[in-house]
Every structure is written in C-alpha cells, then in structure tokens.
C-alpha cells in the first residue's frame, strides 16, 4: 500500500474509444460483452451490503455481506472486476490510504483525491448496479452517486493507478 | 344702496357694478392691512403673508370677474333698453304692431347669435365627446381584432414549419397571453401591488398541464436566511449578497471555484415577470454571464422564455429591466445569483427543536435529512427513489420536455454535502426526522398537514446551491440550477443524438461531469438517455471535439 501525501503526476490514456454521437456510443456499449457481464453480475450482487474495503493503488476490493468480494482492478488500460468468495478468511483489513494530490497532465492542475472518504461513504450501503463501458467501469450504490473507475498512469513510476470518483 | 327698477339706466348698472368692485377691493385692502398688523412672530408673519396672498389673489380674481361683467353691461344695457321700449309700447295702446315687430327683430338681431353660439357650443361639446368615445372604442376593437388575427397567422406559420409558436399561448394555458375579452394585468405593476390570490391545489403557476413544472421550491416571506451579517428575511435579500452555505465539516470535496471580480463585473442583472391569465405572477431576478445574454438576447419590455421548471418558472415573461452587475459582497459564503418571487404558493410549517418559529416552505423544497438508523426509509422516500413516468417527458404537443422531478433529483447531486443523509422534499419529512442546522442536528417536532396559501420566495446560490433557513440555520438546497438543454448547441434533439439506436428513445439531460479523470480528457459533460424499454444509458461528452465515450447502462436516479 502506498503511503503518499505528495503530489503525484498522472496522465489519462485513450483507453476508452470515442464516438461521433451519443447513439453510436450507446450502440457500441449495448453490444459489448462487458455490458452483458455487468448485467449478470448486477443480478448477482444487487442488494448486497458493502461491509468492508481494501484499497491499493491498482485495485479496490469491496467486502459484501453475502460473503462475496467485489474487486476492481486496472488490467492494462481496462478496468476489470471480479467476484470471488471470501471463504473462511477474516474481514478485509481497513485500508488507511491517505488523501492523494493528483496533478493531471498536460495542464498540471492539482486535485485532491480523497479515495478513503469516497469508499467510506459507501460502507454499509447496498450495491445497486455494476455497469461497464469499453474500458471504464461503474458501480452504483444506494444513496450515493455512481462511482466511476478508470486507469491513470503515474508518470514517475510508469505504473497504473486505479482512479475512482463520482461520475 | 342702488336698487334695480325699470328706471335704472345703463349708467346706473355700470355704477352699481363698479361700486361693488371697488367695495371688494377696499375690503381686500382692509384685510391686508389687518394681516400686516398681526405679526407677533416670524411664524405668524409668514402665515399673515400667506393669508394676504390668498385674500388678494382670491379677491383679485373676483374683481376681474366683476370687471368682465361690467364690460358685458353694454349688452345688458341694450337688452334693458329694449325691454323698456317694449314696456312703453305695451302701455301705449297706440303703438303700432310694426313697432313691436321692430323691437323683437332688434332683440333677435342682437341676442340670437349669442344664444345660438352658446347652445351650439353646449350641444357640439357633448357631441364631440360622444364621437371621441366612439372612435376610441372602435380603435380598441380594431386593435384587438388585428392582434388576434396576427396571432392566428403567426401560430399557423409556426405550425406549418413544425415549430411551437413561441409568443402565443391559447386561452386557458400558461403564458403571458390573456384570453380575448379579458383585460390583461398591468405588466408594469410591481409584485408588491398584487395581493395573493388563492389557487388550485395542484397548480404552482396556475393552469399548468401535466408534465409542466410543479410549484417552485420556495419559502414564505419573513423566513430568515443566514447572511454574513446575520439572519435576514428572505424577501429583503439582494442579488450579489453572500449567504451562509456549508460549514467546513459539512462539505464534501473542495468548494467550487467562484468567478473572479472581473468575471462578476461582466455579469448583468435581468429582471422579468411572468404573468398568468388569472393575475398570478412570478417575478424573477437573474444575475447572468455574457454567454447567457448572448443566448437569450433579452430586451427590456420584450418577451423572454425562461425555462427553470424546478423553480416553477417556465414560460414567457416580459423583461422589466436589464442592469449592470450589482455590488458583489466580499467575504465567506456564496453569492446570491437569482431571486424568485411567486405571488402565491402553498406552504407547510415545519417545527424543529432549537427554534421557536416554524419554517414555512413549499412542499417540494429539498431539506438535508440526516441518516437515522431507526427510521424506515421506505416510508419517506428521498428524491432519488422517486419514480418517473416516461410520458412525463413529452408535453401535449409532443415536444420533448425535461421532467422537473428528474431535474431536481440530478441537480441535488451537485450539492457536495459530506454529511450522511439525503435531500428530501419537505412534504416527505416526518416527525423525529433530523435536519442539519448550524448548531448540529435538530429534530422535527411537527409538520403541518394543511398547506397555507401565501407569497413565497426563493434564491439561487452560486457554487454550493444551498443555504441556511430559520433561526437555527437549517440546511436546504436552492434546487434552482437550470439544466442545460440541447438547444445550446444543436437545432434539435435528433441532431444532438445523431443516429438513434434501435429501440432507443432520446437523450434526456445533459449534466456536468464530476469525474476528474474524465474531465482531464475533456469529457466535461455527461449525457443521460432513456430507451423505449425504459433502460437508462449514460455517456460522457467532450463539447470541444463533439465526441462521446464511456457509454454504459445507468439507473434513473444515479
């Protein structure tokens, strides 16, 4: 786990394809397998309560009260999610990731990213929906704004950072 | 004293009148002298001087009148002379009839033109007044007929080109048009001149059709709003003033960046009034940037279409004034950028702990309700769980309209409240619900069941879109951020959407993107669409490149 409060230079990548119109973008997403998977996983997890979370720079694991763990991670440029059985292990340890200061290139604008708070706001709330674009992923939680996941690249390290914030 | 007899000659009459005149003049002089003598003090002197002027002025006029009468004595003398001749003739039996005829002829010759002139003037005066009145009435009728005919032609032309007529609202519908035969309210009349009038229970701005905006989210007059200088009645707030919004610990994320003073200076204040056929009105003050003015092109005394459904303001109004940006108060808090005054609104009273007076608010105004473990959420739904009927998005003419409920729900997302809780319409609040105040949580003691009709007000707060009401500063949303529509950049919804996928309906709303990663890539907007299977889709939009990305299934209230 990265314990870092200094400013991190990050850049976005063109992971998500672009379309000329809203309709084209929706058509492409509607026929994508990720959308189908998201629908079936939504049916599986909808109504489960998030009872714990673990954060790393490239992944976010959410412990659910139905015994599953929903894990989002940046696999290359694509945000993927998996559902695994927590098994007999104890609850996931609470992460203590500090607030990160992200400097987005090219304009170097610095933004505070309170990922710990973002996750904490969703604890003890029910999962509503998982949805996906070509590279980005989304998590709807009851009473909260939809969380959007995307891959950022940390300029210095050249490694991925799983970035998530409201839409 | 002179007396009038048949022997009184012309000179006698003149003497009599001259004496009368002289007598009054002397009387005026005497009174004037008496006034001169009564000057014990400077005040009395002034009074005496005034009295003198009045007396002199009044008697002067009287004397002038008498003088004119004296001047007329020649005619009177001639008349009396002829009467005398007639009397003498009657006494003289030998008087020949021809002489009497001569006398009568002389009489008529002298006086008939005068009498005729007087009679003619009297009759013609009345006749002219009558003609003037008829001409005025004819003119009014012609003007009305021409106006109605032009309205019909314009409406027909708009329909012929498949567009809704912007300046014509048929009788019985909302808008600034008035039904034929009924007088329009005076549009220049100030809102304060109009006493509140009772209205239908389900009608915020009267005669609104299904799908039209609900009553604006407002507070009753005298509701205290927390400003930098303390609580102040809502109706006394001014544009450019700062109000208290979030306390630091209540805020989620960074405070939105406020325009600079230079940017504020480029703003202008437009005041407009929407009148309705029953005399109801909504007075609106908007502090807007140059882009808004370029888009709306407001002109004083001209019509302007305002589309703020979540405020109960939707329709054509008349621009009353356009002024430079008022002074922008410095300090903490956020700037009031709009003020709304509805002539009537239905208010319910909410009593909370920590304050003596109830807060009177319209039923739809969003309050921040703190989370409570022992409360059943299903019995008191927040905005985000409200259900929207799909037909709410089409008006009766088939034009695409935004659902105000949906707009409010999405707008509430923009309020970055970091407290655990939800925005809940005031009518859904219940006893023991907890509200956030400046001093912490306060419990609701009662919510009145009956709604009272009264004048209501609301404000729009830049950046945070929240403010604090009542003695204790209850946190409420302004619910007044207008949703942008596609007309900004496109001629029609179809143009905006492009190729519509099979079974896909239309785009519903364009929102600001909040995701830093998406924004960094230029996707500053998020579009939401609804297909015919009632499935919601969302995608990010880059207004610079016009490209879309990140389309995904969504929920209605996400």
| DSSP collapsed to 3 states, B511-531 | EECCCHHHHHCCCCEEEEEEE
Q: Please name the residues between 12 and 41 in chain A that touch chain B, using a CB distance below 8 Å.
A: 12, 14, 16-30, 35, 38-39
B144: part of which helix (H) or strand (E)?
helix B97-160
| B254 at A interface, C-beta within 8 A | yes
- Residue closest to B283 by CA, chosen among B258, B308, B248: B308
Tokens for B231, please give them. 């609580």
Closest listed residue to residue A141, CA positions, set B558, B261, B100:
B558
Q: Which residues of A touch B503 (CB under 8 A)?
A: none
What secondary structure does DSSP assign to B55-94, as a single string? HHHHHHHHHHHHHHHHHTHHHHHHHHHHHHHHHHHHH-TT
Please give the backbone phi and psi of residue A18, each rounded to the nearest 5 degrees, phi first. Answer: -110, 150
Strand partners, A50: A64
Contacts of A149 in chain B (CB under 8 A): none
Question: Fold for domain B193-477?
Answer: Endonuclease - Pi-scei; Chain A, domain 1 (2.170.16)
| Beta bridge pairs of residue B346 | B453
CB contact under 8 A, B547 and A35: no
Name the residue of chain A whose CA is nearest to B508's CA.
A22
Domain boundaries, chain A: 7-166
- List the alpha helices (DSSP H) in B172-282: 261-266
Return the closest-CA partner of residue B539 out of A26, A3, A59.
A26
Using the structure block, give the residue that is written with the tokens 């942008």. Answer: B484
pLDDT by position in tens, chain B (length 558): 444 444 555 566 566 666 765 665 555 554 444 444 444 445 555 555 665 665 555 555 665 665 565 555 555 666 667 667 766 665 565 555 566 667 666 766 666 667 777 777 667 766 766 776 677 567 757 766 777 787 777 777 766 766 554 443 333 332 233 333 333 333 333 333 333 333 333 333 333 333 334 446 789 999 999 999 999 999 999 999 999 998 888 877 778 888 998 899 999 999 998 887 777 788 999 999 988 887 778 999 988 888 776 666 777 788 999 999 999 999 989 999 999 998 878 888 999 998 888 999 988 788 888 876 444 333 333 333 333 333 334 444 444 455 555 555 445 554 556 677 777 888 888 888 899 999 888 999 998 866 678 888 999 898 888 999 999 999 998 874 333 333 333 333 444 444 444 444 444 566 778 888 898 888 988 887 766 666 778 899 888 888 899 999 886 544
Which residue of B502, B504, B520 is the best one to mutate when testing the A interface, meaning the one whose CB has the most A CBs within 10 A?
B520
- Taking CA atoms, what residue in B is nearest to A39? B553
pLDDT tens digit sequence for A3-16: 446 788 888 888 89
Q: Which residue of A has its CA nearest to B423?
A: A143
pLDDT band, very low/low/confident/very high, at A51 (cuts 50, 70, 90): very high
ipTM of the complex: 0.92
Shortest CA distance from B494: residue in chain A: A23
CB contact under 8 A, B539 and A22: yes
Residues of B in contact with A102 (CB under 8 A): 516
Q: State the smallest CA–CA distance between residue B290 and chain A in angstroms.
A: 26
pLDDT of residue A130: 95
CA gap B137, B129 in Å, rounded? 12
Closest CA to B436 of B411, B400, B405, B472: B472
CA distance B544 to chain A (A): 12
Average pLDDT, chain A: 86
Residue B243 bridge partners (DSSP): B227, B334
CB within 8 Å: A25 and B549: yes
Query: Can you tell me the distance from the alpha carbon of A35 to that of B259, in angstroms, rounded to the nearest whole number?
Result: 40
Check A18 against B545: CB less than 8 A apart.
yes
Of A26, A104, A132, the CB nearest to B520: A104
Domain ranges for chain B:
10-91, 193-477, 486-554
> DSSP state, B329?
P
Considering only the beta carbons, identify the residue of B422, B513, B551 that sits closest to A26. Answer: B551
CB contact under 8 A, B548 and A133: no
At residue B494, the pLDDT reads 44
pLDDT at B528: 77
In a mutagenesis test of the B interface, which of A22, A41, A105 is the best target, namely the one with the most B β-carbons within 10 Å? Answer: A22
- What distance in Å separates the CA atoms of residue B218 and residue A95, rounded to the nearest whole number? 44
Q: Find the helix or strand (DSSP H, E) in which B219 lies.
A: strand B219-220
Q: What is the pLDDT of residues A96-146, one digit of tens each?
A: 566 788 888 777 778 888 888 899 889 999 999 999 999 999 999 988 889
Give the nearest chain B residue to A99 (CA atoms).
B253
Please state, in angstroms and rounded to a whole number, the distance separating the CA atoms of residues B521 and A30. Answer: 23
Chain A interface test: which of B371, B549, B556, B557 (most A C-beta within 10 Å): B549
pLDDT of A151 above 70: yes
Residue in chain B closest to A21 (alpha carbons) equals B498
Beta bridge partners of A163: A150
Asked if A136 contacts A125 with a C-beta cutoff of 8 angstroms, the reply is no
Q: Which residue of A has its CA nearest to B554?
A: A131
A149 touches chain B (CB under 8 A): no
């Amino acid at each position: 786990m990265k314990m870092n409060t200094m400013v991190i230079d990050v850049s976005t990548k063109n992971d998500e394809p672009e379309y000329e119109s809203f309709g084209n973008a929706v058509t492409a997403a509607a026929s994508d397998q990720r959308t189908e998977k998201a629908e079936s996983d939504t049916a599986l997890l909808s109504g489960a309560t998030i009872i714990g979370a673990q954060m790393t720079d490239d992944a976010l694991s959410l412990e659910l009260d139905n015994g599953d763990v929903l894990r989002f991670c940046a696999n290359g440029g694509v945000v993927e999610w998996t559902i695994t059985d927590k098994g007999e292990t104890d609850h996931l340890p609470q992460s203590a990731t500090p607030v990160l200061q992200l400097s987005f290139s090219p304009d170097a604008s610095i933004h505070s990213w309170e990922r710990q708070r973002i996750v904490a706001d969703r604890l003890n709330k029910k999962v509503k929906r998982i949805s996906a674009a070509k590279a980005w992923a989304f998590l709807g939680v009851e009473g909260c704004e939809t969380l959007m996941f995307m891959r950022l690249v940390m300029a210095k390290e050249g490694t991925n950072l799983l970035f998530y914030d409201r839409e | 004293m002179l007396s009038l007899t048949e022997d009184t000659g012309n000179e006698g009459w003149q003497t009599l009148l001259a004496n009368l005149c002289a007598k009054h003049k002397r009387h005026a002089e005497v009174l004037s002298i008496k006034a001169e003598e009564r000057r014990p003090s400077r005040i009395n002197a002034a009074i005496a001087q005034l009295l003198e002027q009045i007396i002199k002025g009044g008697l002067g006029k009287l004397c002038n009148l008498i003088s004119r009468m004296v001047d007329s004595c020649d005619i009177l003398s001639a008349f009396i002379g002829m009467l005398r001749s007639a009397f003498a003739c009657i006494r003289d039996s030998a008087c020949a009839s021809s002489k009497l005829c001569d006398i009568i002829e002389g009489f008529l010759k002298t006086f008939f033109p005068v009498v005729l002139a007087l009679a003619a003037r009297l009759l013609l005066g009345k006749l002219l007044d009558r003609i003037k009145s008829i001409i005025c009435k004819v003119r009014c009728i012609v003007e009305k007929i021409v106006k109605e005919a032009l309205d019909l032609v314009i409406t027909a032309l708009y329909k012929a080109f498949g567009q809704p007529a912007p300046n014509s609202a048929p009788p019985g519908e909302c808008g600034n048009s008035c039904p034929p035969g009924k007088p329009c309210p005076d549009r220049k009349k100030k809102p304060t001149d109009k006493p509140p009038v009772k209205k239908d229970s389900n009608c915020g701005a009267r005669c609104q059709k299904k799908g039209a905006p609900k009553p604006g989210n407002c507070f009753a007059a005298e509701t205290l709003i927390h400003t930098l200088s303390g609580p102040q009645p809502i109706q006394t707030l001014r544009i450019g003033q700062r109000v208290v919004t979030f306390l630091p610990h209540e805020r989620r994320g960074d405070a939105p960046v406020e325009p600079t003073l230079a940017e504020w200076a480029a703003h202008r204040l437009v005041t407009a009034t929407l009148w309705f056929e029953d005399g109801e009105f909504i007075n609106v003050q908007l502090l807007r940037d140059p882009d808004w003015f370029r888009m709306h092109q407001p002109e004083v005394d001209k019509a302007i279409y305002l589309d703020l459904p979540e405020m109960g303001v939707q329709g054509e109004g008349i621009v009353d004034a356009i002024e430079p940006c008022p002074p922008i108060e410095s300090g903490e808090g956020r700037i009031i950028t709009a003020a709304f005054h509805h002539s009537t609104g239905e208010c319910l009273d909410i009593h909370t702990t920590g304050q003596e007076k109830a807060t009177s608010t319209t039923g739809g105004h969003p309050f921040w309700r703190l989370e409570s473990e022992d409360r059943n959420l299903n019995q008191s739904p927040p905005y985000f769980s409200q259900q929207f009927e799909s037909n709410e998005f089409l008006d009766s003419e088939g034009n695409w309209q935004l659902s105000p409920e949906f707009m409010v729900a999405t707008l509430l997302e923009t309020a970055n409240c970091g407290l655990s809780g939800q925005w809940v319409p005031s009518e859904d609040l219940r006893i023991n619900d907890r509200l956030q105040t400046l001093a912490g949580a306060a419990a609701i003691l009662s919510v009145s069941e009956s709604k009272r009709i009264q004048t209501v007000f609301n404000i729009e707060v830049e950046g945070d879109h929240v403010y604090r009401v009542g003695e204790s500063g209850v946190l409420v949303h302004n619910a007044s951020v207008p949703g942008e529509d596609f007309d900004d950049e496109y001629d029609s919804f179809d143009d905006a959407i492009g190729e519509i996928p099979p079974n896909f309906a239309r785009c519903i709303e364009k929102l600001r993107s909040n995701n830093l990663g998406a924004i960094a890539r230029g996707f500053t907007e998020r579009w939401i669409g609804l297909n015919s299977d009632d499935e919601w889709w969302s995608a990010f939009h880059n207004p610079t490149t016009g490209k879309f990305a990140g389309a995904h299934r969504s929920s209605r209230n996400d």
